[in-house]
């Protein structure tokens, strides 16, 4: 159990001393970029899904006729 506590303690110490954390403004900027990119990717996925669904429906309608 002491090995686990020691490992966690050393990990937190390393995070405090050796990691360079970004500035708050940079974090906000990147968060907005990720959010916008996520929305764009979701809309693109939705668009491709709708196009494929309409294409498949059209193919089935041709077969039924």
String of DSSP letters for 34-64: HHHHHHHHHHHHHHHHHHHHHHHHHHHHHHH
Confidence of residue 65 (pLDDT cuts 50, 70, 90): confident
pLDDT of residue 55: 97
Residues 6+ apart with CB under 8 A from 30: 22
Confidence of residue 35 (pLDDT cuts 50, 70, 90): very high
Confidence of residue 1 (pLDDT cuts 50, 70, 90): confident
How far is it, in rounded angstroms, from Cα 12 to Cα 15? 5
The tokens of 4 are what?
Answer: 């686990």
Share of the chain above pLDDT 90, in %: 91
Q: What is the mean pLDDT of the chain?
A: 95
């Amino acid at each position: 159990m002491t090995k686990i506590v020691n490992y966690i303690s050393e990990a937190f110490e390393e995070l405090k001393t050796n990691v360079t954390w970004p500035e708050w403004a940079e974090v906000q900027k990147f968060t907005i970029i990720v959010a916008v990119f996520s929305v764009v990717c979701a809309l693109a996925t939705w668009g491709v899904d709708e196009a494929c669904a309409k294409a498949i429906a059209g193919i089935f309608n041709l077969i039924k006729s």
